[in-house]
Amino acid sequence: MSERQIQLEVLRYNPETDSAPRFQTYAVPCLNEWVVLDALNYVKENLDPTLSYRWSCHMAVCGSCGMMINGEPKLGCKAFIHEYGDSIRVEPLAHFPIERDLVTVVEDFIAKLASVKPYLIPKEDKPVSAGEFKQTPAELMKFKQYTLCINCMLCYAACPQYGLVPEFVGPAALALAHRYNQDSRDGGRDQRQEVVASDEGVWECSFVGACSEVCPKHVDPAGALQQIKVASTIDWYKEHLMPWVKK
């Protein structure tokens, strides 16, 4: 196993003592198959126990280790050291306030997720005795890709629009709304539209496409947002030009 010394530059911020963040560099002996999260764990265990960051699964499923690595939003547990040079710069996810070191304040994202009602709102009430809601594989395919989101917020860190207009509901939350809208068992689209098709919803998106480029799960939130725009535009025409057509 080959070992390599890297300079890990980490943005540090201690709310109790610091007025602004500053970089601190650690020399870390890395194995070639390590990911950046391993290097951070090495620092925490051997060099500096005060370093704070979030992680849990170490296998790209929990979504908690999002960070900027050389300026790009990445999962720390999926960013292999061998893909980088000898100096790696790590910062907290862009566009989110820094709580401490690499830990960001995520309340805004959580509130936005909740605002799109990300759960099944059944078309009709059905007693349990009436059996399950059936779905064909083709109906599942319609939204499956959007179920893969791990709420890592890399897309929010990539989206310049979210950085400039923090009210923007943003890629992952809107893609999740689309996931339920596309579900054959769901009847909640009208309830979601109020948030989803508002100015701060899809219409704040100018299709930069950065969210889909950085998404580690290939959710393609940008695609979902454009599809919502198309559907909402069709709604508008139906309502204003063909009011006799039922939605």
Partner 1 sequence: MGEEMSRKPYVREISKTTWFLRQPRYMRYMAREVTCIFIFAYTFLLICALGSLADGPDAFQEFLNSLRSPWGVLFNLAVLVVTAYHSLSWFVVTPQAMPIQRGEEFVPGNIIVNAHYGAWAVVSLIILIWGM
Q: Applying CB under 6 A, which residues contact ligand SF4?
A: 149-155, 171-172, 175, 215-217, 219, 221
Tokens of 214: 């950085």
Other CB atoms within a 10 A radius of the CB of residue 108 amount to 18
Our CB check for ligand SF4 shows the closer of 28 and 219 to be: 219
Determine, following the binding rule CB under 6 A, whether residue 58 of this chain makes contact with ligand FES.
Answer: yes
Residues that bind partner 1 (rule: CB under 8 A) add up to a total of 34
Site for ligand FES in 72-101 (CB under 6 A): 75-77
HSE-up (13 A, CA, CB side) for residue 63: 14
Determine, following the binding rule CB under 8 A, whether residue 30 of this chain makes contact with partner 1.
Answer: no
Partner from partner 1, ligand FES, ligand SF4, none contacting 24, C-beta within 5 to 8 A by type:
none
Query: How far apart are the two ends of the chain, measured CA to CA in Å?
Result: 62
Determine, following the binding rule CB under 6 A, whether residue 103 of this chain makes contact with ligand FES.
Answer: no
User: Hey, CA dihedral for 47, 51, 53, 56, is it positive or negative?
Assistant: positive
Tokens of 68: 């900027």
Minimum distance from residue 65 beta carbon to ligand SF4 (Å): 11
Tokens of 24: 């601190």
Q: Using CB under 8 A, list all residues that contact partner 1.
A: 13, 15-16, 18, 20-21, 71, 94-95, 97-99, 105, 137-138, 141-142, 160, 163-164, 206-210, 212-213, 220, 222-223, 226-227, 229-230
